[in-house]
Structure 1
């Protein structure tokens, strides 16, 4: 049975999208790049295959920033309101979906904390989820 699509958007509503489950993971990333990119203690992202996401509106309003000093870190955001929106990894294999951009609750709960060793001292507790100092070897 197919699960219904999950919908999302940016703050101003210019960029809208839908993503078809299932999701691979829902992770909390505590690396300094994600903290800077979100302005929070960690980024919570879902991952899916690129073919599962469909832009409904505003794709032309998306700006992409690839951190030049990083092999794969990047950020896509709405050029009107600055909200993070889903992004394709540089190798084109994974769609990273900011959990905060979703308008519909996803059918998955967070699975892991990554880059736990570099988390902010004032960050949230693990909540019993597995913690990893970097990417787990199985990823």
Structure 2
């Protein structure tokens, strides 16, 4: 099982299965949304995600008409994103996991935007 929480602790969740894969995305949208050089995500079945507390702290931002980014409106920690055309999948933000095993990334997206000093993705 995976447990996670936002920076302030208002939003807490658990995932009722192990994370099977993780992805690093270097696209400009993910970089801006994370405030970092990449986003570290895992697609998970929505049915395995359980919000333990903080539903009233969740805020959605639709960056496109299909994709929402969900974050804590108190501390701004990104929690997950979802797409309207993939209603059964959440893309969990792995930087806020506090308990459980996360596998090393096996997929690297938009590596052309990867900073030259960072050597994490095969080219």
TM-score, structure 2 length as denominator? 0.87
Pair 1:82 & 2:76 matched: yes
Larger Rg: 1
Aligned mate of 2:106, from 111, 114, 118: 111
| Aligned equivalent of 1:33, options 24, 29, 36 | 29
Q: CA deviation at 1:82?
A: 0.7
Q: CA deviation at 1:53?
A: 0.4
Alpha-carbon deviations, 1:97-123, whole Å to 9, x = none?
111110014242211111112x14346
The Cα of 1:65 is off from its aligned counterpart by 0.2
- Point out the structure with the larger strand share: 2
Structure 1: any 5+ residue segments left out of the alignment? 132-139
How is 1:1-139 mapped onto 2 (pairs within 5 angstroms)?
5-67=1-63, 70=64, 72-91=66-85, 92-117=87-112, 119-122=113-116, 124-128=118-122
Matched-pair contact (CA < 8 Å) for 2:111–2:121: no
Offset at 1:20?
1.8
Over the residues paired in the alignment, what is the CA RMSD in angstroms? 1.9
Count of residues paired in the alignment:
122
More contact order relative to length (CA 8 Å, sep ≥ 6): 2
Which consecutive unaligned segments of at least 5 residues does structure 2 have? Answer: none
